[in-house]
A and B are shown apart, each in its own frame.
Chain A
Amino acid sequence: MLRYNFIYELRILLRSRWIQLLSLLLLLLFGFSAFNGKEKVEKRKVDIAAAKQEVLDTDQSMLKLLDSVERGMAVSASPWTIPTSPMAVANYYPRVVAMDPQPMAFVSTGQADIFTHYVKPTATGDDFALNFTEMTSPVQLLFGSFDLAFVIVYLLPLLIIAFSYNVLSSEKESGSLRLLASQPISIRKWVFQKLILRFFWLSVLVVTTLVLVILIVGIQPLEWSKVFGLLGLALSYMLFWFSLAFLVNLYVGSSAKNAVSLLGLWVVFVLLVPSVLNQLAGTLYPMPSRTLMINEMRERKVEATKRQDEILDNFLRDHPEYAINDSTQTRSFYHNYMASQKVVKEELAPIVNAYETQLKKQQSWSRQLQWTSPAIVVQESLNNLSGTSTADYENYRRQVIAFSESWREHFMSFLYNNTLFKSEDHTNLPQFQYHALGQSGVPKAILILLAMALVLLGLGFAVQGATRQKGILAD
């Protein structure tokens, strides 16, 4: 029977031009979205490369300036920008601290449109005031991006619904159900076989078009494991929707009713559950007010400026290591400033950390509840796979702050020892290397999705439906 079904399905699909239409549609959707993602990633790479090149150029001019000063020549730069002063280097010659795109970044935009991918922290800048958001039109953020993740999470289920809502009901409506009922196969099994075959054909189409698109977009050969992750996610998500369609086909009635029910489920899983969860996360773990944080920050700073001499004395007493070789005891604006900045930063740490802990709580809460909607599971896993999730940007922020700390420390010892910055010190400047998060959690997500699909399929087979009691032909 399976063999007949298989041949019949294939013929029907080919003759109704479903397959042709679907492959064209998939190719268009996947192609357009992957192209969009690729374009974004390219722009990101170009921006970072340009920024790095700029640093190389300014470093060259810095070395030239240093060389001239060291040889006792007059220079035309403003006195406070001459790089013999360590603080001038620390403030006017910052490094590019960049978050390089992951190989799969084109799959999902995630949070990549909100956050910036490179900053240049200076010694006097405040870490907590560092602006990590990118300059984009907010309208763009509001509408979101037409990326592969959007096609997979939002559109693929709709294609499945259009492809499977009337498997059983159309037989009923065209009158061929009686014929079918006389065949030596249970209706459940028959619907199941039919849907599995459709799942199989759609999978073949999705996999070939996706691989084709990825090959065109181009991916490093080593990252095929991630491509398999992507395919696995897409397929298990599709299986989930086919199992839903299986249940609805068995238990609901006419074609139109089936379609409405499936669409209702789509609205619930893709639109409502995520927005309700987000709302709840915000209500349960509200973010402290940023405007009030500004107030607090300003008050602490005023305090610190008032007692800056005292702060500096305490600071040097606590950190004798900074001024081991200082014989001059010179004190400039920066001596005071850097010490008070450190104090303010330490005082503000709990306030700034409150945002991170709150965000962490929201994240772990939504991670626990993500199984309420497979759409969330897939979207989050695709973000992780692409290295564009909230966690990735948090990881980057942490690394930036650590780097700017080491940048500052590096120049603090120059400052408090009152030593000049020399040409040979240039090679010792701290360098930044971004380390991506290791685990993506994709296998776990695939398992969750498969489990959901299996439970639904099991339900379809196990639970006694109205059809069994009344008989499939009863109206």
Chain B
Amino acid sequence: MIIKTFVKETKESWRDGRVRIAFLIVLLLLAMAVWVGVRQYQNVNEQYRTAKNTERILWDNQGEKNPHSAAHYGTYAFKPKYPLSLVDQGVDKYVGTSIFLEAHKRNEAQFSAAADQTGLARFGDLTPDFILLFIIPLLIILLGYNSFTKEREMGTYTLLKSQGASNWKWAMGKWMSLFIPIFAITALLFLITGILLSNLKDFGVFKWQSLLTMFVIYMGYYIIFINIVLIISSRAKKSGIALVLSLSVWILACLAAPKAASNIAEAKHPYPTRQEFAANVLKDKKDGLDGHNPWSKESKLLEQQVLAEHGVDSLHQLPFNFDAYRMQKGEEHEAEVYFKHYNYLKDQFAQQSKVYKGLAIISPYLPTRFLSMAVAQTDYATHWDFADAAEDYRIATQKFLNDHFAENSNYGDWSYQADANFWVGLPSFEYDPPELGEILTDNTSSLWILGAWLALSFSILLITTKTI
């Protein structure tokens, strides 16, 4: 009976011109989105490589220079693009791609793509994630809104009752007829993406496991939608009403809830403005050691401490350049200040995340979105991870430069210049994004929420179809 219902339903919907057109449109859109995505991905990675190499060449060929001048000259950390961003662009468009690493200052990533686009960009991009998250649920609604209502409207309901098949089997057949086409279209997309990605040059970071995980997450999301649509269809009196109701659920889950969540999150746990943040950092910096200021109270304190430690009575007698030593100590203090303030931002975001998770009760879209971005390594957490790695590298670079300055020059010798080949000694910045296992453990709460949605929707579907 399950198979028979499935075959009948599939034939029926395939004969409907609207369904065929809708399927065709979705496929076309997906093809377009993937094509644009692949091009963009190659383009961006090409630029990333060029920028990284050029920057390193500039750094290596600084010539003879004071190490601290080099520290002010600084260098850049560029953020690479990861293969699965092809499927889900996540927040990539809204975060910067390059971080300037200089002495005394932790800079934020600069130049987000969204800032260079017109207002149109805020409607959304034609990317696979847009289609996966918004359009395919709509397709499910289109396929399934009248699953049960049409039996009632055409009067075939009594006929069905007389067949002696249990409601459960009958509903299962309808469920399958919704699930199989969606499964096929999604599987096709992921398969093509996988093949495309593994054929791209240097796909080093691409893993089939991640793609498969993503596929499973999306299938979970679609199953929830299928269940909801069928529940509504089994309860509604007319097809039109079922359609309008299913659609209201879609609007609430995919459009309204995320936007409302973002408003509530911002109102409850706001970020400081860029200028406020800078002012707060400056205030804290002033309370500690400034590497450039030998006259401050903290400098004098450090001076006495170091002199006592080495048992000498003048800075000239120290075995190293005290100016550079103080510079390094100042650097450490500043790094701590930044650590504190950036942690505050992270705390604010952690609080905001709770709001998003709270609203996931009315929207299966939210946990899916967060999981999908996380697996694609295009979420905010990955961005933080990258920014932290860049900051660690910045601190290490400052130590590398200050230590060299301290060991190779004498106190007061600001005209000291490091050798032209000294710069090559700095290890280059390499960043490895978190692995899949780590990502999933970080996002267990979203997985649980999605699981709860699945379990709940299935059980309600079972109960409603029993008493149809």
Contact = CB atoms under 8 A, between A and B. Distances in A.
Give chain B's interface secondary structure class. helix
B119 A302 contact: no
B443 to A, nearest CB: 14
B76 interface: yes
A54 interface: yes
A135 B125 contact: no
B126 A279 contact: yes
Contacts of A154: 251, 255
B273 A116 contact: yes
B273 A144 contact: no
B3 to A, nearest CB: 27
A115 B120 contact: no
Interface size of B as a range: 35 or more
A281 B126 CA distance: 12
A155 B91 CA distance: 25
Contacts of B114: 114, 141
A138 B383 contact: yes
A135 B94 CA distance: 11
A289 B97 CA distance: 11
Interface stretch (B5-13, B51-59, B162-170, B172-180): B51-59
A380 B119 contact: yes
B380 A138 contact: yes
Contacts of A255: 238-240
B135 A279 contact: no
Contact of B262 (A111, A139, A281, A376): A139
A131 interface: yes
Interface size of A as a range: 35 or more
Contacts of B98: 290-291, 294
A267 B130 CA distance: 12
B228 interface: no
B16 to A, nearest CB: 10
A416 interface: no
Contacts of A258: 240
Sorted nearest first, the 4 A-B pairs with minimum C-beta distance are: A274-B123, A138-B94, A138-B91, A291-B51
17 contacts: A137-B380, A139-B352, A140-B352, A141-B94, A146-B259, A255-B240, A256-B145, A260-B243, A272-B29, A274-B123, A275-B126, A278-B117, A281-B120, A290-B116, A292-B54, A379-B119, A379-B123
Interface of B: 18, 22, 29, 36, 47-48, 50-51, 54-55, 58, 76, 78, 90-91, 93-98, 108, 110-126, 130, 134-135, 138, 142, 145-146, 238-240, 243-244, 247, 251, 255-256, 258-263, 265-267, 270-277, 279, 290, 293, 295-296, 345, 348-349, 352, 356, 380, 383
Given A278-B117, A376-B120, 13 more contacts: A43-B270, A79-B295, A137-B266, A137-B352, A137-B380, A138-B380, A139-B262, A141-B94, A259-B243, A271-B134, A294-B51, A295-B51, A366-B118
Interface of A: 32, 36, 39-40, 43, 47, 50-51, 54, 78-79, 110-111, 114-120, 129, 131-146, 150, 154-155, 158, 162, 165-166, 254-260, 263-264, 267, 270-272, 274-279, 281-283, 287, 289-292, 294-295, 298-299, 302, 355, 359, 362-363, 366, 375-376, 379-380, 383, 389-390
